[in-house]
Amino acid sequence: MSAAGGIPYVIGQWVRGSRFYGRRLLLERVLAGGWHWVAGLRRVGKTSLLKQLELLAETGTPRTVPLFWDLQGVDGPGELALTFADALLDAEELLAAAGVGIETLDTAALGAESVDPPPLLPILDRLVAAAKTAKIELLLLVDEADELLVVERQNPGFVERLWRALAEAGGLRVVLATALPLADQAAAGAPEAAWIRIFGEPLHLGVLEPEEARSLLRQDHRLVSSRPEWSEAEVETLRTSCGDHPMLLQLAAKRGLELGSAEAARAHLVTDRSVDHLFAVDLEL
């Protein structure tokens, strides 16, 4: 068993472009318009989905500018403002090319300790207004949006006011990704999760479809000469052993290339600490 050019599987990092597999129907639905909430288990590819949406918007959606907003570690309005400032800086070139200069938004105020709370909503309002003037649509891709629960607990009503104001302003589409527990909290009526109702019912991000999993294992996006040499039987061994879970598929395939067979990889997964961690911590089972 070998793979020309090295092991192609990616574990523990987000992917996009040629390394992204599957999710076609979900991508099409989100790109068609509207605000969307994507909920899924950890390690199932939520960040990669947002990053693929970012790429598709950059390269194939005229007059749409994506902003990837990572909320990991946010614990209040101040951190929320700082992470949005980072998102603007990351998208500065795309915005400038579309006719929106972030220097006009007074983003320095987002990090000013003397301003409490930071003027996040006014700056978002100015950004949306500038986008309308430039005749572009903003696509806000919000990762780790579970962190907004912490913000809402400390500042009741803040998060809901933020999203409602943006929804009323128009000219902006939002896709946010969360873990599944947020859906449970919202269904149970948790006050800190009430804001998520603005997004409607979640789109569930689960395991890959069988053919998507096969394509990932075969690495169909690579040149034929650089694909792993799995037999059809080995592909089925790997995908059925992993339940088509994207992280487990890549982990098993990597181990299979290292150990020389799909059967050896399956046996190894039983004692693999990465798998133990996935079930004990990431999936909280």
pLDDT tens column, 59-106: 987 789 999 999 999 988 888 988 998 999 999 999 999 999 988 777
Class of domain 23-205: alpha beta
Q: Residue 45 in contact with residue 207, Cβ under 8 Å?
A: no
Give the Cα separation of 199 and 188 in Å (integer): 17
Cα→Cα distances 146→1, 36, 57, 113, 238, Å: 41, 14, 24, 25, 32
According to the model, what pLDDT value does residue 97 have? 92
Predicted confidence band at 282 (pLDDT cuts at 50, 70, 90)?
low
Look at residues 263, 221, 216, 269 and name the one whose alpha carbon lies nearest to residue 242.
Answer: 269
> Please, where in the chain does CATH 3.40.50.300 lie?
23-205
Sheet containing 36-40: give its strands across: 64-70, 137-143, 172-179, 36-40, 203-205
Per-residue pLDDT at 268 exceeds 90: no
- 69: Cα within 13 Å, side-chain hemisphere: 28
Q: Which residue type, as a one-letter code, is found at position 61? A: T
For the entire predicted model, the pTM comes to: 0.92
178: tokens are 């969360």
Q: Are 127 and 138 a contacting pair, CB within 8 Å?
A: yes
Model confidence band, residue 114 (pLDDT cutoffs 50, 70, 90)? very low
What is the 8-class DSSP label of residue 106?
Answer: T
93: amino acid identity, one letter:
E
- How many other CB atoms sit within 10 Å of the CB of residue 170? 10
Q: How is residue 41 annotated by DSSP?
A: -
